[in-house]
Amino acid sequence: MSAREYSAEDLKLFEDIKNGKTFDKGDELPPLYRKMLINLLWMQGDSEYSGGLGYSPWIAKAPDMREKVLVAQIVKDEMRHASVIYRLLDDLGQDTQSHIAKTELDYKLEDDKAQIGFKRLKDDYRVNIFYYNIKYWTDFILFNFLMDRAAGHQLEDTLQSSYLPWKKGIEGIYKEEIMHLTHGDKWVKILAADEKEKPFLQERLNLWWPRVMNVFGNSKGQANDIYVRLGLKRRTNSEVRDAFLAEIHKLCDEVGLVIPEYKEADQAV
Ligand SMILES: [Fe+2]
Ligand SMILES: [Fe+2]
């Protein structure tokens, strides 16, 4: 991709943001800022909502009463996250109600082994991992262990966002994502310590691994650089991915799970 040409206004905006400029509810937003902010919010809102819908069957299917309560709590959290983000979008003049009504955010792939890379399947903005079906309790646990952790790392940047309503909303969301990943960590240890469960845990980790690595996007994508310049992200995709990887490697080493190889180049569709 050739380098994007920025206008003089864009360059002035980058400079102002670097020097601490922020935007609040009701402020007039520069066109580039508004466009990129709305992109990220749609991606998060649809992912939270679609994620909550994917988790919800597991209230009934969780192994015991205590776990049903915990899964119900997680589903409630994801729905609340979606509502917080959709409200921000509505405040920016987007119509989230009709979007939800006309898109199929509850759609999940039937093919359990499918790998869709970066290909879009429906007319929504969810991150691709939310197209896959959570088929087993082990998948639910891996979703907490991998995806809620990946989300936590991504949201960490938003704690310092230049868009103040988002920054404020993310504080509670971030804490709840930490609870979700802690649930994943607890159960990965339980399943990995069980000789009967461990091979299946490894098998499902192999299946989910490229899906979660794709969440960090294409490390060469230029959009990421703009997000950083606009103060909507702090780190590049590959920096966030490396922080996630360091944590996952340590945790998997502790319980004897092997992280599969991942090649970004193989994922482009
Ligand atoms: Fe969430
Ligand atoms: Fe979560």
Residue 172 belongs to some domain of the structure: yes
In angstroms, the CA 53 to CA 57 distance is 8
CA of 185 from ligand 1 middle (Å) equals 17
268: CB partners within 8 A, 6+ apart: 117, 118, 218
Residue 138 belongs to some domain of the structure: yes
Q: Which residues are near ligand 1, the ion (C-beta closer than 5 Å)? A: 48, 78, 81
pLDDT score recorded for residue 126: 96
Residue 62 belongs to some domain of the structure: yes
Say yes or no to pLDDT of 4 above 80.
Answer: no
> How far from chain centre, in Å, is Cα 172?
16
Say yes or no to pLDDT of 20 above 60.
Answer: yes
Residue 4 belongs to some domain of the structure: no
pLDDT score recorded for residue 265: 63
Question: In the chain, how many H helices and how many E strands?
Answer: 11, 0
Ligand nearest to the CA of 148: 2
Closest CA to 134 of 56, 66, 187: 56
In angstroms, the CA 32 to CA 252 distance is 41
In angstroms, the CA 30 to CA 83 distance is 25
Say yes or no to pLDDT of 91 above 90.
Answer: yes
Q: What is the CA radius of gyration of the chain?
A: 19
264 — pLDDT class (breaks 50, 70, 90)? confident
Say yes or no to pLDDT of 107 above 90.
Answer: yes
Residue 52 belongs to some domain of the structure: yes
Tally the domains of the chain. 1
225 — pLDDT class (breaks 50, 70, 90)? confident
CA of 206 from ligand 1 middle (Å) equals 23
Closest CA to 36 of 3, 15, 13, 20: 13
CA of 81 from ligand 1 middle (Å) equals 5
Looking at the DSSP bridge assignments, the partners of residue 23 are 163
CA of 74 from ligand 1 middle (Å) equals 8
Please compute the mean of the pLDDT values over residues 168-182 and round it to a whole number: 96
Say yes or no to pLDDT of 194 above 80.
Answer: yes
pLDDT score recorded for residue 182: 97
Residue 115 belongs to some domain of the structure: no
Residue 118 belongs to some domain of the structure: no
CA of 14 from ligand 2 middle (Å) equals 31
pLDDT score recorded for residue 2: 44
pLDDT in tens, 140-152: 999 999 999 999 9
Residue 25 belongs to some domain of the structure: no
> How far from chain centre, in Å, is Cα 138?
19
In angstroms, the CA 74 to CA 77 distance is 5
CATH number at residue 247: 1.20.1260.10
